[in-house]
Amino acid sequence: MKKVFIDTLGCQMNKSDTERMLGMLLRLGYEETKNDSEADLLMINTCSIRQLSEDKAFSQIGTWGQWKRQGKNIKIGFCGCVAQQKANEIFKRANYVDFVLGTHNIYKLPDIIKLVEQGQKVCECTETNDVNVDNTGEFDIVRVKSTNAWIPITEGCNNFCTYCIVPYTRGRERSHSPESIINEVKKALADGFREITLLGQNVDSYGKDFKDRHYRLVDLLRELNAIEGNFRIRFVTSYPTDITEELIDTVVESDKVCEYFHIPMQSGSSEVLKKMNRRYDRETYAKIVKHIREKVPDVTITSDFIAGFPGETEEQFQETLTAIDEFELDYSNVAAYSPREKTVAAKWTDKFIPDDIKQERFQRLNEKVKENCLKSNQKYLGRTMEVLIENYYEHKGEMINTGKTRNNKTVHIACNRDLTGQFVMAKITGIKTWYIRGELVDNSI
Ligand code: SF4
């Protein structure tokens, strides 16, 4: 049996694409290996959100190219966002690559592999307006072993934030059909997954592109919530101004939908937000977050921020720090601005912030996130919370079950039994920055 190794970089959407590609390859008779040196087919699923990630991809395939030059009989595939963006250019930079496969065409993988096995070089990066792969049951998705199944519901984005490459690499927004999503959810639940996370660059826009029906994220959440069984539902990522009153109410009313929103703010300064082409200002974001907190008890709200966007002044950066405090953001992903080819902001070279200042702001932002994360965790000391156990391992001589609360807090529970996949109740007894410690109360849910 031939073996395939796939290295996946970047976001959850890429990981989800890899799960689909593996499913197709298994159908073709391949077997997955985690060891690249024993693979016949080596693929990299690339990310282009930052230069660092792109550089990492080329460095990785460089090693594989060397193996090929040394006479190893392998095929190399370059896939994902960088592939979509650079297409045939990849062959010029790395002539040992056998195929280039963009994000819009992963459903063509089986045909591509057949041509590559016959010795052809293939590049498939055409843009389409269709969803990439609806789970029509033609192949099994090879999910990473976990309690949570990631299920894409939309692809692409129409927002064109001035720093972001996604609309160029993933195309315009397309929604998967409710039927295919519901099928996929039922299949994942039957396979033992206990948590479903609906995935999209802008998940609240789900269904806006349907021409033949009115069906939105709230309809999908309600339908999924009605499926029998003990499981949880999450959805990421939300665009602030696309969160509707009806969506907030649906979260409150649907027992399986968790109290968790990931709402990237990107900057605390209204002026910077305007330059980013975000369609809200600081006050609007504040109102949305405040309103969600009033309606959804114990909700966790997380965000994303960019440090050192072109032209960002120290005062504007300070507004980002105060936003994290003022809006009590429970956790935030932070990144230093990285110019991406084709995007509007990448042309503002005269406004670029020097690297040392950018890095220094990035550090300060991280410190602020840490501070707030600890503060947020402290709210739960002494409370008893439901935890879905995801993992069991030994740490410094102690056996630990780790899992997540409904509101996405990571809990460590010392216990000599492996409870992976179970819902348990834990009393919160200790607070750390990135997790909380709990004691098992009852595992009989
Ligand atoms: S909404 Fe998100 S994915 Fe879409 S362009 Fe803006 S940052 Fe990129």
The pLDDT confidence band at residue 143, using thresholds 50, 70 and 90, is: confident
More reliable by pLDDT, 409 or 395: 409
Cβ(164) to ligand 1 under 6 A?
yes
Q: How many CA atoms lie within 13 A of 402 on its CB side?
A: 12
Q: Is the pLDDT of residue 140 over 80?
A: no
- Please give the pLDDT value at position 146: 81
Nearest-angstrom CA–CA distance, 441 and 425: 5
Backbone angles phi and psi of 369, in degrees to 5: -60, -45
- Please give the pLDDT value at position 341: 87
Tell me the average pLDDT across 397-410: 96
Q: Is the pLDDT of residue 86 over 80?
A: yes
The pLDDT confidence band at residue 351, using thresholds 50, 70 and 90, is: very high
Residue with the smallest CA separation from ligand 1 atom 1 is 159
Tell me the average pLDDT across 392-399: 92
The pLDDT confidence band at residue 127, using thresholds 50, 70 and 90, is: confident
Give Cα separations from 322 to 300, 303, 327 (angstroms): 18, 14, 8
- Please give the pLDDT value at position 142: 77
Q: Write out pLDDT tens, residues 4-50.
A: 999 999 988 899 899 999 989 998 999 999 999 999 999 999 998 88
Cβ count near 144 (within 10 Å): 13
DSSP per-residue string spanning 96-132: T--EEE-GGGGGGHHHHHHHHHTT--EEE----SS-S
- Please give the pLDDT value at position 5: 97
Tell me the average pLDDT across 378-402: 95
Cβ(166) to ligand 1 under 6 A?
yes
Cβ(47) to ligand 1 under 6 A?
no
Nearest-angstrom CA–CA distance, 342 and 275: 16
Ligand 1, residue 266: give the atom nearest the CA: 7
CATH code given to domain 265-379 = 3.30.750.200
Ligand 1, residue 278: give the atom nearest the CA: 6
The pLDDT confidence band at residue 291, using thresholds 50, 70 and 90, is: very high
Q: Is the pLDDT of residue 135 over 60?
A: no
Q: What is the dihedral of CA 422, 427, 429, 435, to 10 degrees?
A: 40
Nearest-angstrom CA–CA distance, 444 and 256: 18
- Please give the pLDDT value at position 105: 87
Cβ(393) to ligand 1 under 6 A?
no
Cβ(82) to ligand 1 under 6 A?
no
Q: Write out pLDDT tens, residues 44-62.
A: 999 988 888 999 999 999 9
Cβ count near 195 (within 10 Å): 23
CB of 4 within 8 A of CB of 26?
no
Computed over every residue of the chain, the mean pLDDT equals 94
Handedness of CA 369, 372, 374, 377 (dihedral sign): negative
- Out of 168, 170, 174, 202, mutate this one to test ligand 1's pocket (max ligand atoms within 8 Å of CB): namely 202
Cβ(202) to ligand 1 under 6 A?
yes
Distance (Å) from CA 148 to ligand 1 centroid:
24
Residue with the smallest CA separation from ligand 1 atom 8 is 164
Distance (Å) from CA 158 to ligand 1 centroid:
8
CATH architecture assignment, domain 146-258: 2-Layer Sandwich (3.30)
Cβ(239) to ligand 1 under 6 A?
yes
The pLDDT confidence band at residue 443, using thresholds 50, 70 and 90, is: low
- Name residues whose C-beta falls within 8 Å of residue 111's C-beta, 6 or more positions apart in sequence: none
Residues of the chain with CATH 3.40.50.12160: 3-124
Full-model pTM: 0.90
Residues of the chain with CATH 3.30.750.210: 146-258
Q: Is the pLDDT of residue 139 over 80?
A: no
Tell me the average pLDDT across 88-97: 94
Distance (Å) from CA 430 to ligand 1 centroid:
37
Choices 1.20.1440, 2.40.50, 3.30.70, 3.30.450: CATH for 384-442: 2.40.50
Ligand 1, residue 158: give the atom nearest the CA: 4
Ligand 1, residue 239: give the atom nearest the CA: 1
CATH topology of domain 3-124: Rossmann fold (3.40.50)
Please write down the long-range contacts of 59-67, taking CB distance under 8 Å and 24 or more positions apart. 60/7, 61/94, 61/96, 61/97, 62/94, 64/36, 64/96, 65/94, 65/96, 65/97, 67/37
Q: Is the pLDDT of residue 133 over 70?
A: no
The pLDDT confidence band at residue 345, using thresholds 50, 70 and 90, is: very high
Tell me the average pLDDT across 251-261: 98
